[in-house]
Amino acid sequence: MQTQRNTHTRLLSAALLVFAMWHGSFAGESVVSAPVAMEIAIRAGDLRMVLENTGQGLRLAGLTDLVTSQELCPAEPAPLFSVVLRDVQTKDLLTITADTGWKQVDVASSGVMGTHTLTFAAPTDDRLEGIRVEVTLEVEAGDSALTWDLRIANDNPRWALWRIVFPQAAVRDLGEDAKVFAQVTSGVELSGMWTKAGKRGGPYPGGWTCMQYMAAYNKARRTGLYVGMHDPFGSTKDIFAEGQPAKEAVLFTFDHPAPDMGKPGVGFDLPGKARWQLLRGDWFDAAQIYRAWAMQEARWWPALGPAGREDTPKWMRELPAWVMTGGAASDCVPQVRKFAEAIGLPTGFHWYNWHQIPFDNDYPHYFPVKDGFAEGVAELKTAGVYPMPYINGRLWDTRDKGAEDWAFSRTALPAATKDEDGKPCTESYGSKETDGNSVTLAVMCPTTPLWQDRVSDIVLRLFSEYGVSGVYIDQIAAAQPRLCFDASHGHELGGGHWWTEGYWKMLDAIRAAKPADRMLTTECNAEPYIKWLDGYLTWHWQQQDMVPAFSAVYGGTIQMFGRAYRGGPTQDLANRMKAAQQLVYGEQIGWFGPEVIERADCWPFLRDCIQLRWRLREYFCRGHMARPPRLAGPVSTVTADWQWSGEWLVTTDAILTGAWRIPQENKLVLLFANVSDDPYAGRLDLNPADYGLAATPVTVTAIQPNAGRGDPPLADQRWIARPLAIQAIDRAEVELPPRNILAWEVRRIDGN
Ligand SMILES: [Zn+2]
């Protein structure tokens, strides 16, 4: 049996270090000294990292793709870690980094296990005595990946941990057509980040920063780097990609507020592991790395059976369309029925303002309901509509009965989130009290039994007394965690993962108590609540340069629905673009106002998207996303004002494409949507291996709307399905009339 051989290098003081050279192994062997800086090379498959001794720490000196010889590390690399400390008495902040300020640095390597431990101790600033950082690094040669962990010990009575930036990695300009994948809504793929200053990202978990990885790549050159924080708890952190033109670099950072931030003597243990991995593809390949991890370790990955999320009612998994309006039943029920009749299919209805209190005011006192609510719910359910009222899952009005503080101070205040000074954290959204002042809403702490029970009571009452099909609980997967400092809540102060766990506990109780045929949804798509919810409102997926990375990671684990559809001079084109994007991204189509059925320039197209999604529904609830197929040659683009926030121009390809697969049944569907007024003819350019189709015979069935629009409103009369004779799927010709959609259902026929 082979014994583990350790190489251990102790780097002493700065003066000595300059003359010490690490030379392979030295346990029991000779130490070679030379007047050069020390370097440590670590190889993980095709990725080679070089760490350099600075005399007072370690810095990255190289990160090389050995196959393409592409250097990834820029001329000025980022420190491996940065830690912000706070003086307990003065509250002064001070930053320490991996590359400087340490009198003692150890590197211990286990050649057999491929693990390396980097220890940073004895800060040169004597005030920081007792602070020590240990970074461990595991090599995964097969994936050309480095997996990192980090711990900080703090025996210092005066200095407390405040924020920890780890991992952080800068990537140099990877040349023409290099791209950056950043976390914005569904994910964005950006050009020009190396030449433009600016940051993309934000606080996680939140609606705009939903997952914990980024990437930089040059697909044509087959090189790049994936940088992920594989934190199975969804702890609070800021995640950014930052263009640094002066350094010709893009910097990826994960910045964690420390749990119990500001408390002396408290250390830090990285929640989960960080990962750097060589990337030879694009955003889709990066998504597959993250998906493989999330399936194994993320606490929020749900149980998936042969039919998908079996804890989500079947009707919700299959729902093709959503309509959104509100008010008293007499105002909205007839219009919603008309919309449902126009599609002839099950319809979700997001019902706002069913309560007597004004919107964003007097929360959470949602009862009594407006007259006729229960009757309206019952009527809609008989018409194939699934009503889902709105509530907020996070806010309590500080003046919660008109302009009066009725129950806030006496009941809610102890359970509200608090800043460091003990003041409740509040927000305003433009709603006004009766006296004209802005409504000030307190953010409730999700760990408190008071708030958990209050939300549960409201939801269960809507189910039991009013028979609603689902409840939308606003803001849970949209708003970032507050750094709550209220010690009476019993959670760690500030950072950590108590916020997500608070909501998990609240939603566990609601799911256990609710009828099995009802469902729960929330706003936006922050990942760590997926297992506890049935649907995510993707209303904010309105960005230029979006790619469906969230669908690529999580398709099939939760239903996505509800883009915001807006007005303006290019509304019809914008509506077609949004609906087509929803179709290929795997979302349920809509959140339309019911009056959209009157719009001749978009409704026929929207209706086709809804009906095609219905026909193909099993792919979206039982399958998962495959790489969107590429069309060879230039595809024209379209631009419309999506009116997300004022004028909001978005440009997309005129032909949007998507692919969804049920691998266990050898089935695949390719989707094509022409949102423009021009016909399209071109050919596919895809790699059959991406779809499990390499060297296998296939049958292809084309499914598309029958030419004669305005046919009787029976779904099957408007659709034709015909077998295609296709010799080579990878170069097949695709033709699409203007404003038309097409699906190719592809089946392997070898039975493998
Ligand atoms: Zn709290």
φ, ψ dihedrals at 644, nearest 5°: -70, -45
Q: How far is the CA of 409 from the centre of ligand 1 (A)?
A: 16
Closest Cα to residue 582, out of 319, 313, 189? 319
Please determine, for residue 714, whether its predicted confidence score (pLDDT) is greater than 70: no
Q: How far is the CA of 425 from the centre of ligand 1 (A)?
A: 10
Q: How far is the CA of 392 from the centre of ligand 1 (A)?
A: 18
**Contact yes or no for 94/74 (Cβ under 8 A):** no
Q: How far is the CA of 522 from the centre of ligand 1 (A)?
A: 21
Question: What is the chain's alpha carbon radius of gyration, rounded to the nearest angstrom?
Answer: 28
pLDDT attached to residue 112: 65
**Contact yes or no for 225/279 (Cβ under 8 A):** yes
Opening angle at CA 541, ends 495 and 520, nearest 5: 65
DSSP strands (E only) in 91-130: 93-97, 102-110, 115-123
- Cα–Cα distance measured from residue 179 to residue 183, given in angstroms and rounded to the nearest whole number: 13
Question: Using one digit for the tens of pLDDT, what is the confidence trace for 464-505?
Answer: 999 999 999 999 999 999 999 999 999 999 999 999 999 999
Q: How far is the CA of 484 from the centre of ligand 1 (A)?
A: 5
Task: Count CB neighbours of 338 within 10 A.
Answer: 15
- Cα–Cα distance measured from residue 87 to residue 95, given in angstroms and rounded to the nearest whole number: 11
**Contact yes or no for 211/527 (Cβ under 8 A):** yes
Q: How far is the CA of 412 from the centre of ligand 1 (A)?
A: 12
Question: Using one digit for the tens of pLDDT, what is the confidence trace for 204-231?
Answer: 999 999 999 999 999 999 999 999 999 9
Q: How far is the CA of 479 from the centre of ligand 1 (A)?
A: 15
- Cα–Cα distance measured from residue 742 to residue 637, given in angstroms and rounded to the nearest whole number: 18
Q: How far is the CA of 549 from the centre of ligand 1 (A)?
A: 32
* Mean pLDDT computed over 245-261: 98
Q: How far is the CA of 486 from the centre of ligand 1 (A)?
A: 5
- Cα–Cα distance measured from residue 705 to residue 672, given in angstroms and rounded to the nearest whole number: 12
Residue type (1 letter), 8: H
Does an H or E element contain 504, and which?
helix 498-513
Q: How far is the CA of 264 from the centre of ligand 1 (A)?
A: 20
Instruction: Give residue 407's pLDDT band: very low, low, confident or very high (50, 70, 90).
Output: very high
Residue type (1 letter), 388: M
pLDDT attached to residue 717: 65
Q: How far is the CA of 447 from the centre of ligand 1 (A)?
A: 6
Q: How far is the CA of 317 from the centre of ligand 1 (A)?
A: 34
Q: How far is the CA of 471 from the centre of ligand 1 (A)?
A: 25
Task: Count CB neighbours of 231 within 10 A.
Answer: 24
- Cα–Cα distance measured from residue 135 to residue 137, given in angstroms and rounded to the nearest whole number: 7
**Within 221-328, where are the H helices?**
283-297, 314-318
Q: How far is the CA of 407 from the centre of ligand 1 (A)?
A: 19
Please determine, for residue 189, whether its predicted confidence score (pLDDT) is greater than 90: yes
Instruction: Give residue 92's pLDDT band: very low, low, confident or very high (50, 70, 90).
Output: very high
Question: Based on the number of CB atoms within 10 Å of its own CB, is 91 exposed (0-12), middle (13-18) or buried (19 or more)?
Answer: exposed
SS3 content of the chain, % helix, strand, coil (to 5): 20, 35, 40
Please determine, for residue 715, whether its predicted confidence score (pLDDT) is greater than 60: no
> Which of helix, strand or coil describes residue 71?
strand
Task: Count CB neighbours of 25 within 10 A.
Answer: 14
Q: How far is the CA of 487 from the centre of ligand 1 (A)?
A: 7
- β-strands 470-474, 519-523: how paired? parallel
Q: How far is the CA of 257 from the centre of ligand 1 (A)?
A: 15
Closest Cα to residue 484, out of 184, 236, 140, 151? 236
Token couple for 678: 């021009």
In which residue are the tokens 């991890």 written? 293
For a pLDDT cut of 90, what percent of the chain falls above it? 89
pLDDT attached to residue 530: 98
Question: Using one digit for the tens of pLDDT, what is the confidence trace for 354-388?
Answer: 999 999 999 999 999 999 999 999 999 999 999 99
Q: How far is the CA of 95 from the centre of ligand 1 (A)?
A: 27
CA end-to-end distance (rounded Å), the chain: 41
Lowest mean pLDDT among 323-327, 359-363, 671-675, 692-696: 692-696
Q: How far is the CA of 502 from the centre of ligand 1 (A)?
A: 9
Q: How far is the CA of 162 from the centre of ligand 1 (A)?
A: 18
Please determine, for residue 509, whether its predicted confidence score (pLDDT) is greater than 60: yes
Q: How far is the CA of 490 from the centre of ligand 1 (A)?
A: 8
Residue type (1 letter), 520: L
> Which of helix, strand or coil describes residue 284?
helix
* Mean pLDDT computed over 581-587: 98
pLDDT attached to residue 718: 78
DSSP string for 704-748: EE-S-TT--S-GGGGEEEEEE--S-GGG-EEEE-TTEEEEEEEEE
Q: How far is the CA of 416 from the centre of ligand 1 (A)?
A: 7
Strand arrangement of the beta sheet that strand 70-71 belongs to: 39-44, 47-53, 58-65, 70-71
Q: How far is the CA of 629 from the centre of ligand 1 (A)?
A: 46
pLDDT attached to residue 38: 84
Q: How far is the CA of 110 from the centre of ligand 1 (A)?
A: 42
Q: How far is the CA of 501 from the centre of ligand 1 (A)?
A: 12
Q: How far is the CA of 442 from the centre of ligand 1 (A)?
A: 12
In which residue are the tokens 């009222």 written? 389
Strand arrangement of the beta sheet that strand 82-87 belongs to: 93-97, 82-87, 159-172, 249-257, 237-244, 198-204
Closest Cα to residue 446, out of 497, 408, 519? 497
Is the pTM higher than 0.85?
yes
- Cα–Cα distance measured from residue 322 to residue 561, given in angstroms and rounded to the nearest whole number: 7
Residue that wins the pLDDT comparison between 728 and 299: 299
- Mean pLDDT in the chain? 93
Q: How far is the CA of 548 from the centre of ligand 1 (A)?
A: 34
Q: How far is the CA of 488 from the centre of ligand 1 (A)?
A: 8
Closest Cα to residue 618, out of 345, 348, 317, 346? 317
Opening angle at CA 467, ends 466 and 470, nearest 5: 110
pLDDT attached to residue 390: 98
Q: Is the dihedral of CA 499, 501, 502, 506 positive or negative?
A: positive
Q: How far is the CA of 554 from the centre of ligand 1 (A)?
A: 29
Residue type (1 letter), 126: D
Q: How far is the CA of 444 from the centre of ligand 1 (A)?
A: 8
Instruction: Give residue 633's pLDDT band: very low, low, confident or very high (50, 70, 90).
Output: confident
**Contact yes or no for 123/103 (Cβ under 8 A):** yes
Give CA separation, 150 vs 82, 133, 236, 294, 365, in Å: 11, 7, 16, 20, 45
Q: How far is the CA of 303 from the centre of ligand 1 (A)?
A: 30
DSSP string for 128-142: GTTEEEEEEEEEEGG
Counting DSSP H helices and E strands in the chain, the numbers are 11, 42
pLDDT attached to residue 752: 46
Please determine, for residue 36, whether its predicted confidence score (pLDDT) is greater than 90: no
For the chain, give every domain's residue range. 75-297
Token couple for 680: 């399209």
> Which of helix, strand or coil describes residue 290?
helix
Q: How far is the CA of 408 from the centre of ligand 1 (A)?
A: 16
Instruction: Give residue 588's pLDDT band: very low, low, confident or very high (50, 70, 90).
Output: very high
Please determine, for residue 2, whether its predicted confidence score (pLDDT) is greater than 60: no
Q: How far is the CA of 296 from the centre of ligand 1 (A)?
A: 30
Q: How far is the CA of 441 from the centre of ligand 1 (A)?
A: 16
Question: Based on the number of CB atoms within 10 Å of its own CB, is 14 exposed (0-12), middle (13-18) or buried (19 or more)?
Answer: middle
Q: How far is the CA of 572 from the centre of ligand 1 (A)?
A: 45
Q: How far is the CA of 520 from the centre of ligand 1 (A)?
A: 24
Q: How far is the CA of 119 from the centre of ligand 1 (A)?
A: 34
Q: How far is the CA of 390 from the centre of ligand 1 (A)?
A: 25
Q: How far is the CA of 395 from the centre of ligand 1 (A)?
A: 14
Please determine, for residue 353, whether its predicted confidence score (pLDDT) is greater than 90: yes
Token couple for 341: 């009749």
Task: Count CB neighbours of 751 within 10 A.
Answer: 6
* Mean pLDDT computed over 650-675: 96
**In terms of residues, how long is the chain?**
752
Please determine, for residue 710, whether its predicted confidence score (pLDDT) is greater than 50: no
Torsion of CA 109, 112, 113, 116, to 10 degrees: 10
Q: How far is the CA of 87 from the centre of ligand 1 (A)?
A: 23
Q: How far is the CA of 473 from the centre of ligand 1 (A)?
A: 19
- Cα–Cα distance measured from residue 80 to residue 62, given in angstroms and rounded to the nearest whole number: 12
DSSP string for 193-220: TTTS-EEEEEEESSSSS-SSEEEEEETT
Closest Cα to residue 164, out of 134, 185, 137? 134
The domain 75-297 is placed in CATH, from the list 1.10.3470, 2.30.30, 2.70.98, 1.20.950, at 2.70.98
For 561-576, give one letter per residue: b (16+ CB within 10 A) or e: bbbbbbeeebbbbbbb
Closest Cα to residue 388, out of 347, 335, 446, 334? 347
For a pLDDT cut of 70, what percent of the chain falls above it? 93
Residue that wins the pLDDT comparison between 60 and 36: 60
Supply the angle between the helices 449-466 and 373-382 in degrees, to the nearest 10.
60
**Contact yes or no for 637/651 (Cβ under 8 A):** yes
